[in-house]
Amino acid sequence: MHSWPPWSDGLGTRQPNGKPYLNTRFAESLGEASGSHLFLEIQERGYRGSRQVVRKHLAALRAGNAEPVRADIPSPRKITGWIMRPQDTLPPELDRRLLEVRIACPDIARACGLARAFAELLRHRRGLLLTEWIRQAERDAPKPISGFAGFLRQDLDAVTAGLSLRWSSCVVEGHVNRVKTIERAMCGRASFTLLRTRILTLS
């Protein structure tokens, strides 16, 4: 069990388990946890600060403007990796840290939900739900995702087919890549006839 120094009244870096613990409990309760109850919980974990500090932090969480825990802010690459992994494969510790990030940054929270929803469309070929996803992204997403949604809308039929059908151009693109590789290897050293022969014999 971790303890916090009795001389520290805040929830910052000198009490490293303060904000992360409150953030996690707040997320687990979907914002319904009682401030008094949480204050008693962290007192049992060694907190010796004031009740007012806890109330102030919880108010910031409910308003969506709580500052992130500065002592351990994960990189954008890590956050992206946590978001894009299937949720049931994310270890509990990483899932907890992602919750803290989502609480600290409402934009990431919105982006997380939309990114996971799009991944589900892709994995399970639910292209018929794409229009609704685009509508939601354009209405409520951060600019990078809303811009991506607008780009998808420009070629909606093709993208919907790609997310719905089991056929794709992957095989054709693979053959094109193979032909280009052979061509580059023979560039300036052989005739077209030999190139044609190699392509046909290596098929």
Helix (H, G, I), strand (E, B) or coil at 118: helix
Q: Which residues contact 194 (CB under 8 A, 6 or more apart)?
A: 186
117/126 Cα distance (integer angstroms)? 10
For 43-85, the pLDDT digits (tens) are 888 888 888 888 888 888 888 777 655 545 788 899 999 999 9
Closest CA to 52 of 94, 10, 93, 80: 10
What angle do the packed helices 18-28 and 92-104 form, to 10 degrees? Answer: 90
- Digit-coded pLDDT (tens) for 149-200: 999 999 999 999 989 988 878 788 888 998 899 888 888 777 888 888 888 8
Q: Against a cut of 0.85, is the pTM above it?
A: no
